[in-house]
Amino acid sequence: MEAFQAFFARPTTIRNIITSALIIGTLAAVRHLSLRVVRARGTDLAVIYQWRKTSRYLAFLIGGILLVALWVGGGFASYTATYFGLLSAGLAIALQSLIVNFVGWVFILWRRPLRIGDRIQIGEHVGDVIDVRIFQFLLMEVGNWVSADQSTGRIIYIPNGKVFSEALANYTRGFQLLWNEIPVLLTFESDWERGKRVLQAIAERHSADSSSAAEYVKQAGRQFLLTYSTLTPTVYTSVEASGVLLTIRYLCPPRQRRGSAQGIWEDILRAFADDPALELAYPTQRLYTLPQDAPPRLPNA
């Protein structure tokens, strides 16, 4: 109790209390006036909200520095280096994400895992790169609720640091072509060998030129180890519960996957419509009925 009374009996204590009140009051008044000016200019609510948050953080930061300098004693100059050292350490922790994103930007410019115009997938997001900034790159979203590889019209902002923590797939770098597959299910009663020849001819009409594909492989082989031995379209055969499955595998440019699939399916529908030996399969049920005069069957004992 005596120490507490002695503390408040010091002239410096009363002076520091008054000065602290003045510092807090001045910062509060400046913040209040600045908010009134922002509101008076008719700024939208988003800007007002952001300014209110920013001004609050600045007021706490400046007030904390001044109050610590006032109450620690020894003069402001002798503690400036310590304060700013602690401040720098705190900012480094608080701004860790920004620092990682900046390093990611340097990595993107240096190693070129993506460029403007590339179609990529990073994490769960797929899209075309439309801009690369210091802290983030922008994607024009592809897919999601839109079927196949069509744009949704949304722009996705991806932090540059994601190139270090997420798997990144580039559709247009290196080989520059994609293998696409289209499954076609025929009934067991269809002539599947004839169907395979028909699908092979259709795939060859719509597949990327094999000479161009070979040139792409040659160019990509200068940077990557590619072991493609067959670049021509192929039709694979397998059996499913509802019929014979013929799977078309062919090469196409990344942005033409849906268009090429549409062209192939239209040719398939035309070819099958003109050929009674070929029929598309679908899940069916077969019911067998006994003659009315047949005795009822009893389950085995």
CATH topology of domain 100-170: SH3 type barrels. (2.30.30)
Could you tell me where the DSSP H helices lie in the chain? 2-9, 11-40, 45-72, 76-94, 96-111, 162-165, 192-206, 210-220, 257-273
Which residues lie below 8 Å from residue 76, measured CB to CB, with a gap of 6+?
Answer: 69
pLDDT at 183: 95
pLDDT at 164: 92
| CA–CA dist 16, 8 (Å, integer) | 10
Vertex 138 angle, CA 137 and 140, to 5°: 155
Per-residue pLDDT tens digits for 128-160: 999 888 888 999 998 888 776 788 889 999 999
pTM over 0.75, yes/no: no
Domain boundaries, the chain: 11-94, 100-170, 178-273
Return the CATH number of the domain spanning residue range 178-273.
3.30.70.100
Torsion of CA 14, 17, 20, 21, to 10 degrees: -110
Per-residue pLDDT tens digits for 206-237: 988 777 777 777 776 666 666 666 788 999 99
Question: CB–CB of 202/267 below 8 Å?
Answer: yes
